[in-house]
Amino acid sequence: MQGNIMLESTHDLLQIKLHELNEQLLNLGSNCENQPGLLAKNHEIRELLVDPQFVEGLESNGEMVSIGHRIRFRESSTGKELEYDIFSSADILHNPACQGNDCASAQSPIIAPLLGRRVGEVVSFQDQQLTVLAILPLLTPEQ
């Protein structure tokens, strides 16, 4: 089973958040009304940290659209070219550096149909066609 895909910086942030949550839980004790929410968040973060697969270490030759790449594509209805950095949902949710306007989750409705496609391929999305124009290396927030 493949673990959660994320940037190493997201993994580091999650470890810090987990440590802070554990500290809060220890300080609050068992009589705190916020304890169920903190425990749920603690569990969520622990699940994300199980067997992480780092974007920086994923094997990819850049021939197919995948997490860890910048993609450029054209919408057929407008002719507009769009460009996004593709991250995992863990990165988008937990790493502020991955939450810019040019960042997209691999699970987002417009990106998901493009995953695994090659330059020149055309994909149907809603009422239009998306053409993959380029698959570029991802400049991670650390770069």
The string of pLDDT tens digits covering residues 97-120 is 787 778 898 888 889 899 889 999
Rounded mean pLDDT of 30-38?
76
- Please tell me whether residue 8 adopts helix, strand or coil conformation: helix
Per residue in 96-130, is it b (16+ CB within 10 Å) or e — as a string?
eebeeeebbbbebeebeebbebebeeebebeeeeb
Q: What is the DSSP string of 77-96?
A: TT--EEEEEEE-HHHHHH-G
Q: The pTM is what?
A: 0.68
With respect to CATH, is domain 60-137 assigned 3.10.50.30?
Answer: yes
Rounded to whole angstroms, how far apart are CA atoms 117 and 39?
40
Q: Where are the domains of the chain?
A: 5-55, 60-137
